[in-house]
């Protein structure tokens, strides 16, 4: 397969090197990544300034065609699919992200957004994350992703659905298995560290922390913490379908002046 690999941690991140090198053993791989870290950029795209694309040569990927872009992760996905690979893409892989993308994390994640953009454009895609900001076992996450791809995960894939894979930062032999999960819940407490710059001007630095997650056994959050890798099918349709009938009833009781 012709696989486009993108990320939000930047062209020199260990995660993108690990997954690109592993997939290149069996597939034709092209890498397009931001020139620096763009974590938590969600689905941002660059529309008010030009984007510059240049060849890159990350360590360990000397035999793989790599580009870096001075833009957002979703910019990289769009440029990679439509400009660099000219639509000749069988699959987009986003990652391996350094840190989890479970629960509410997926709303903020540039990793997930890049994969989501691919499925919006009609391509097949998977986001891959390892549950550590300083991962030691990227090879294990890369192996799980490669096995899924090689095993036929994307054969007759459901249109408009991306797969969100989260892997514990453990040796492959210590991962308990893979579970299909639903999205859990993660709640962060927003805190801001107030500091002074060298000229005495105050600035703030976000320093939030995770305060709550759902304990349900069938969620991505719960199962990954038990030592399983989790894979969750995600769609970009955010409609609360179960609320439509109730909302209609409320609207019928409101006098509107058109």
Q: Which residue has the higher pLDDT, 2 or 206?
A: 2
Q: What pTM was estimated for this model as a whole?
A: 0.90
Q: Are 116 and 136 in contact (CB under 8 A)?
A: no
Residue 217: the pLDDT is: 78
Question: Would you state the pLDDT for residue 209?
Answer: 63
Query: What tokens appear for 46 in the block?
Result: 């660059």
Work out the average pLDDT over 92-100. 96
Q: How confident is the model at residue 156 (pLDDT cuts 50, 70, 90)?
A: confident
Q: Would you state the pLDDT for residue 54?
A: 97
What value does the mean pLDDT take over residues 107-136? 96
Q: Are the C-beta atoms of 219 and 181 separated by less than 8 Å?
A: yes
With beta carbons less than 8 A apart as the criterion, state whether 29 and 5 touch.
yes
Cβ(31)–Cβ(59) under 8 Å?
no
* Exposed/middle/buried for residue 185 (C-beta within 10 Å: 0-12, 13-18, 19+): middle
Alpha helices in the chain (DSSP H): 14-23, 73-78, 105-108, 110-120, 138-150, 220-225, 244-252
* Cα distances (angstroms) measured from residue 168 to each of 102, 137, 147: 12, 9, 16
Domains in the chain, please, with CATH?
2-184+214-252 (3.40.1210.10)
Question: Does residue 138 contact residue 97 with C-beta atoms inside 8 Å?
Answer: no
d(CA 84, CA 58): 18
Tens of pLDDT, residue by residue over 164-212, are 999 999 999 999 999 999 998 876 666 778 889 899 898 887 776 655 5
Under a CB-based contact definition with an 8 Å cutoff, are residues 185 and 104 in contact? yes
Q: Which residue has the higher pLDDT, 212 or 109?
A: 109
**pLDDT band at residue 216 using 50, 70 and 90 as cut-offs:** low
pLDDT in tens, 49-82: 999 999 999 999 999 999 999 999 999 999 999 9
- What average pLDDT does the structure give for the chain? 92
C-alpha 78: how far from its chain's center?
15
Give the DSSP H/E element, type plus range, for residue 66. strand 65-69
**pLDDT of 214 above 70:** no
Range 215-224 average pLDDT? 84
- Name the percent of the chain lying above pLDDT 70: 95
Mean pLDDT of 91-119: 95
């Amino acid at each position: 397969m012709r696989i486009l690999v993108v990320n939000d941690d930047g062209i020199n991140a260990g995660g993108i090197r690990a997954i690109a090198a592993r997939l290149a053993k069996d597939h034709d791989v092209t890498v397009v990544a931001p020139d620096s870290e763009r974590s938590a950029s969600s689905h941002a795209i660059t529309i008010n300034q030009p984007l510059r694309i240049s060849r890159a040569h990350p360590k360990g990927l000397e035999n793989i065609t790599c580009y870096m872009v001075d833009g957002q992760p979703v910019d990289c996905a769009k440029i990679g699919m439509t400009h660099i690979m000219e639509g000749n893409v069988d699959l987009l892989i986003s990652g391996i992200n350094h840190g989890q993308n479970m629960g509410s994390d997926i709303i903020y994640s540039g990793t997930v957004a890049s994969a989501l953009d691919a499925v919006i454009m009609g391509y097949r895609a998977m986001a891959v994350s390892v549950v550590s900001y300083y991962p030691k076992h990227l090879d294990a996450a890369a192996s799980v992703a490669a096995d899924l791809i090689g095993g036929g995960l994307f054969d007759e894939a459901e249109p408009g659905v991306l797969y969100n894979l989260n892997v514990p930062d453990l040796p492959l032999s210590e991962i308990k298995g893979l579970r299909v999960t639903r999205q859990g819940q993660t709640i962060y407490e927003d805190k801001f560290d107030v500091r002074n710059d060298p000229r005495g001007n105050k600035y703030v630095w976000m320093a939030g922390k995770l305060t709550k997650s759902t304990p349900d056994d069938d969620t991505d959050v719960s199962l990954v913490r038990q030592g399983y890798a989790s894979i969750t099918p995600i769609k970009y349709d955010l409609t609360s379908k179960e609320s439509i009938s109730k909302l209609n009833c409320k609207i019928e009781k409101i006098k509107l002046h058109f």
